[in-house]
């Protein structure tokens, strides 16, 4: 369904009075992978390895330096912003900063619904938007009577649900989840992860999961690719990578997973 | 909300008292008194004559008694009479108000309608040719003193080219003009003062709105709006602009007193018959009741302006609720 082909993103490093480009940061340096329908594909790696840049390239928030992204065989750089938004949506890491503080929940979610619905009869449309917005809120486990409330009135977990409802409003086929739970409390993380799994089954979604927490990846993903300094260094099914890591970086990552086993302190 | 407003209004009372006490003391501390000014600093005027004037104005009493008398009149909305011509202070102020309002409302409108778009376009097209050009303009606006610019423009348009009048609000033969003639006459008199008084503000507000807009454009929720697939126009005007306007509302509230207080130096240069010039003349003549009258009104407007800005905040930013 999604095919990423030799994708590159270099950021220029400028120096001096005339801002001469002296070097490039190779944030994403020639990565390729595919995601099949209904699959959860995870990109893992430490911060700064280029995971989030990859996510932004796929949803069109950045232009790639080189390489292409295909969705159902179509080059996404040829799609209009709205066309792309209807196919691929993104859930952001920080549920506090990513919701406009001056808009109501009804507007944040409803605006996306409205944007998707083509212009029809205004009255019918307004009713339809409200109805769909309520359905979306219900789907992500939020009360439906919050249309006139503002983001600051909600907790982190609730806000992330709002972010998910907002993404679902465009009825995408693929959702890029950029660290969807890393800024949430552990207790809330599990709820959001379960919600993501439920949604995948009921709406036949595919996910590109961006994460650094290998426990989250194991819970959610089918296949995983390990990124290191802009390149994919290892990939495979969850089982293969977790039980038989080949690359030394992957081994280090796996060793760093906190577990409940404790060492006796002498 | 209502409780909040009432409480804020009550807090204004001690503030106003403090402001009037300080103004009163400072005004009376400045060398020379109304008697000296009235008698033209003439050495021939005897000490007894001056003493008679002093007792006439009540200036022979101790300062705190004078303040008390002034204050007890003020609470009855009696601003007293001018020492200079014996007319009621409130009437003198009301006479000057329309001229100042006209000038400042026009200049404020000009500032907002020009500076806001400049700032927003500069932010949206950061580092473009337009943005850089505007940076130069802003630099000029900040560094050129208004009185100097006023004099230069007066020389150019008033003397060299002779297109515009250089001072006052009306021509000498104003009463003989037709309605349209009068209107055109006032417009001609307004062009220079409005432009000069708007010039500095233009620079300030355009830079301010640029910064504010840039700040908002960097926010995550703008990225969210883009991810929704909204057009860039909707992202900027619907999501970014509304948030960027919040700090600008404060500026609007703070510019309210200037709207009526008028600029002392500015109005004096253009001989504009407004509040600023009235205050300036009163200070020069040590006309205490007029100085205090202008001062009280300016202080009251400043406090009200702040309050209005705070209240508007609550309306445009849902995160703020006053208690």
Same domain as B288, residue B258: yes
Minimal Cα–Cα distance from B216 to chain A, Å? 10
Which pLDDT score is estimated for B41?
65
pLDDT at A226: 92
- Domain borders along chain A are 30-255
ipTM surpasses 0.85: no
- Comparing CB atoms, the residue among A61, A94, A111 nearest residue B226 is A61
The reply to whether B136 and B28 lie within a common domain is no
Tell me the per-residue pLDDT of A121-149, one tens digit each, with 9 for 90 and over. Answer: 677 788 888 899 999 999 999 998 999 99
B26 in helix, strand or coil?
A: helix
With an 8 Å Cβ cutoff, are A81 and B317 in contact?
Answer: no
Q: What is the pLDDT of residue A162?
A: 94
Smallest CA–CA distance, residue B275 to chain A, in Å, is: 39
Contact list, B229 vs chain A (CB under 8 Å): 81-86, 112, 115, 170
One digit per residue, the tens of pLDDT, for chain B of length 323 reads: 788 888 888 988 999 999 999 988 988 888 777 777 767 666 777 778 778 877 777 777 888 888 888 888 888 888 888 887 888 888 888 888 888 888 888 888 888 889 999 999 999 998 889 999 998 988 888 888 888 888 999 899 988 888 888 888 877 777 888 888 888 888 888 888 888 888 878 888 898 899 999 999 988 899 999 888 888 888 998 889 888 888 887 777 777 777 666 677 788 888 888 888 888 888 888 888 888 888 888 888 888 888 888 888 777 777 776 66
Given a cut of 90, whether residue A40 has pLDDT beyond it is yes
Partner residue facing B229 (CB), from A86, A100, A152: A86
Cβ-based contacts of A97 with chain B (< 8 Å): 219-221
For residue B175, the enclosing domain spans: 94-316
Domain match, B114 and B142 both: yes
For B241, nearest residue in chain A (alpha carbons): A102
My answer on whether B71 and B200 are in the same domain is no
What pLDDT, on a 0 to 100 scale, did the predictor assign at position B130? 92
DSSP characters over B167-220: SSSS-TTGGGS-HHHHHHHHHHHHHHHHHHHHHHHHHHHHHHHHHHHHHHHTSH
- DSSP code per residue over chain A: -EEEEEEEEEEEEEETTTTEEEEEEEEEEEEEEEE-TT-EEEEE--TTSSHHHHHHHHTTSS--SEEEEEETTEEGGGS-HHHHHHHEEEE-S-TTTTS-TTS-HHHHHHHHHHHHSPS--HHHHHHHHHHHHHHHHHHTT--TT-TT--GGGS-HHHHHHHHHHHHHTT--SEEEEESTTTTS-HHHHHHHHHHHHHHHHHHT-EEEEEES-HHHHHHH-SEEEEEETTEEEEEEEHHHHHHS--SHHHHHHHHTS--S--PPP-
Taking any CB pair shorter than 8 Å as contact, residues of chain A touching chain B are: 59, 61, 81-86, 89-90, 92, 94, 97-104, 111-112, 115, 150, 152, 163, 166-167, 169-170
Q: Does pLDDT of A166 surpass 90?
A: yes
Q: Among B25, B48, B75, which residue terminates a domain? A: B75
- Name every chain A residue with its beta carbon within 8 A of the beta carbon of B228: 85, 111-112, 115, 166, 169-170
Task: Name which of B215, B229, B238, B245 to mutate to probe chain A: the one with the most chain A Cβ atoms within 10 A of its Cβ.
Answer: B229
Q: Is B19 among the domain residues?
A: yes
Mutation for B interface: A52, A84, A90, A100, most B CBs within 10 A:
A100
Mutant choice from A57, A84, A102 vs B, greatest count of B C-beta within 10 A = A102
For residues B136 and B69, state if they share a domain: no
Centroid of chain to Cα B146 = 14
- In this predicted model, what pLDDT tens digit does every residue of B255-311 receive, in sequence order? 777 766 667 778 888 888 888 888 888 888 888 888 888 888 888 888 888 888 888
Among residues B16, B53, B27, B25, the alpha carbon closest in space to that of B38 is found at B53
Q: What is the pLDDT of residue A127?
A: 85
pLDDT given at position B304: 85
Residues of chain A found within 8 Å of residue B243, distances taken between Cβ atoms: 100-102
Give the pLDDT score at A46.
85
Cβ of A115 within 8 Å of Cβ of B316? The answer is: no
The DSSP symbol for B166 reads: -
Chain A's closest residue to B316, CA to CA, is A102
Give the closest residue to A110 by CA, choosing from A148, A80, A152: A148
Beta strands (DSSP E) in B27-127 are none
HSE-up of residue A190 (Cα within 13 Å, Cβ side): 2
Residue B89 maps to a domain: no
Which residue out of A81, A92, A113, A148 would a mutagenesis test of the B interface target, given it has the greatest number of B Cβ atoms within 10 Å? A81
Domain topology for A30-255: Rossmann fold (3.40.50)
Instruction: Work out the minimum CA distance from B111 to partner chain A, whole angstroms.
Output: 26
Indicate the burial class of A177 (C-beta count within 10 angstroms; 0-12, 13-18, 19 or more).
buried
Do the beta carbons of residue B156 and residue B132 sit within 8 Å? no
Q: Please check whether residues B34 and B108 belong to one and the same domain.
A: no
**Min Cα separation A24/chain B (Å):** 21
Neighbours of A148 (CB within 10 A): 9
Contacts of B225 in chain A (CB under 8 A): 100
- Smallest Cβ–Cβ distance between B228 and the set A94, A101, A115 belongs to A115
Residue A189 has pLDDT above 70, yes or no: yes
Count CA atoms within 13 Å of residue B244 on its CB side: 30
pLDDT at residue A263, rounded to an integer = 59
B87 domain residue, yes or no: no
Average pLDDT over residues A73-77: 91
pLDDT on residue A91 = 93
| Least confidently predicted of A28-32, A250-254, B41-45 | B41-45
Mean pLDDT to the nearest integer, A65-83 = 91
Shortest alpha-carbon distance between residue A2 and chain B (Å) = 18
Put simply, the answer to whether A115 touches B223 (Cβ < 8 Å) is no
User: B224 contacts in A (CB within 8 Å)?
Assistant: 92, 98-100, 163, 166
Q: How far apart are CA A174 and CA A169, in angstroms?
A: 13
User: B304 and B193, same structural domain?
Assistant: yes
Other CB atoms within 10 A of residue B47 CB: 7
Distance in Å, alpha carbon of B217 to nearest chain A alpha carbon: 11
Q: How far does A177 lie from chain B, in Å, by closest CA?
A: 12
Based on the structure, what is the number of domains in chain B? Answer: 2
Cross-strand pairs, A90 = A176
Q: Do A111 and B228 touch (CB under 8 A)?
A: yes
Q: Cβ of B229 and A103 within 8 Å?
A: no
Residues B115 and B262 placed together within one structural domain of the fold: yes
Answer yes or no: do B51 and B121 share one domain: no
Chain A environment of B239 (Cβ under 8 Å): 100, 103
Please tell me whether residues B112 and B247 are part of one structural domain.
yes
Alpha carbon of A5: minimum distance to chain B alpha carbons (Å): 22
For chain B, the residues whose C-beta falls within 8 A of a C-beta of chain A are 219-221, 223-231, 239, 242-243, 316-319
Looking at the structure, tell me whether residues B113 and B41 fall in a common domain.
Answer: no
Same domain, B53 and B134: no
pLDDT at position A72 is 92
d(CA A94, CA A56): 15
* Residue B262, domain CATH: 1.10.3720.10
Find the CB nearest A170 among B226, B229, B231.
B229
Which of B221, B228, B317 minimises the CB distance to A85?
Answer: B228
The shortest CB-CB distance from A85 to any of B221, B227, B242 is to: B227
The reported pLDDT for the residue numbered B314 is 76
Task: Say if the Cβ atoms of A102 and B220 lie within 8 Å.
Answer: no
- Nearest CB among A85, A94, A98 relative to B229 is that of A85
């Amino acid at each position: 369904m999604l095919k990423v082909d030799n994708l590159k993103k270099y950021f220029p490093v400028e120096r001096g009075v005339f801002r001469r480009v002296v070097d490039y940061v190779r944030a994403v340096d020639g990565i390729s992978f595919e995601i099949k329908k209904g699959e959860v594909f995870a990109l893992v790696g430490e911060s700064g390895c280029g995971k989030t840049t990859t996510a932004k390239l796929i949803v069109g928030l950045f232009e790639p330096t080189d390489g292409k992204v295909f969705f159902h065989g179509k080059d996404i750089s040829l799609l209009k912003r709205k066309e792309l938004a209807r196919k691929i949506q993104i859930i952001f890491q920080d549920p506090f900063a990513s919701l406009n503080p001056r808009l109501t929940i009804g507007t944040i979610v409803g605006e996306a619904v409205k944007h998707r619905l083509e212009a029809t009869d205004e009255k019918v449309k307004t009713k339809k938007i409200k109805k769909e917005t309520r359905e979306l809120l219900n789907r992500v486990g939020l009360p439906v009577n919050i249309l006139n409330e503002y983001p600051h009135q909600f907790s982190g977990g609730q806000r992330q649900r709002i972010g998910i409802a907002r993404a679902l409003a465009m009825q995408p086929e693929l959702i890029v989840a950029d660290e969807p739970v890393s800024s949430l409390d552990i207790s809330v993380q599990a709820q959001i992860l379960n919600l993501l799994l439920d949604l995948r089954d009921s709406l036949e979604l595919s996910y590109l999961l961006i994460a650094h927490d290998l426990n989250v990846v194991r819970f959610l993903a089918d296949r995983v690719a390990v990124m290191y300094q802009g390149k994919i260094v290892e990939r495979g099914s969850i089982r293969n990578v977790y039980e038989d890591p080949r690359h030394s970086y992957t081994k280090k990552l796996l060793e760093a997973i906190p577990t409940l086993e404790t060492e006796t302190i002498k | 909300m209502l409780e909040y407003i009432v409480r804020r209004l009550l807090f204004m009372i001690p503030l106003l008292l403090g402001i009037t006490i300080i103004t009163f003391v400072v005004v009376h501390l400045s060398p020379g008194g109304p008697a000296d000014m009235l008698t033209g600093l003439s050495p021939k005027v005897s000490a007894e004559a001056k003493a008679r004037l002093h007792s006439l104005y009540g200036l022979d009493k101790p300062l705190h008694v004078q303040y008390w008398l002034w204050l007890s009149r003020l609470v009855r909305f009696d601003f007293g009479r001018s020492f200079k011509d014996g007319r009621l202070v409130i009437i003198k102020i009301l006479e000057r108000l329309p001229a100042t309002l006209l000038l400042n409302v026009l200049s404020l409108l000009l500032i907002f309608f020009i500076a806001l778009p400049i700032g927003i376009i500069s932010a949206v097209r950061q580092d473009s040719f337009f943005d850089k050009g505007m940076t130069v303009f802003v630099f000029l606006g900040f560094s050129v003193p208004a009185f100097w610019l006023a004099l230069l423009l007066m020389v150019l348009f008033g003397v060299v080219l002779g297109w515009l009048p250089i001072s006052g609000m009306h021509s000498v033969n104003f009463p003989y003009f037709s309605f349209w003639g009068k209107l055109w006459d006032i417009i001609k008199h307004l062009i220079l003062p409005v432009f000069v008084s708007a010039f500095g503000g233009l620079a300030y507000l355009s830079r301010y709105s640029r910064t504010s807009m840039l700040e908002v454009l960097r926010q995550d929720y703008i990225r969210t709006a883009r991810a929704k697939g909204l057009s860039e126009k909707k992202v900027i005007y619907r999501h970014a602009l509304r948030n960027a306007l919040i700090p600008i509302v404060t500026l609007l509230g703070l510019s309210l007193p200037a709207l009526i207080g008028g600029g002392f130096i500015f109005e004096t240069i253009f001989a504009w018959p407004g509040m600023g010039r009235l205050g300036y003349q009163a200070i020069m003549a040590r006309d205490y009741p007029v100085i205090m009258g202008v001062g009280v009104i300016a202080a009251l407007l400043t406090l009200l302006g702040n309050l209005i800005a705070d209240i508007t905040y609550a309306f445009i930013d849902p995160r703020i609720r006053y208690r």
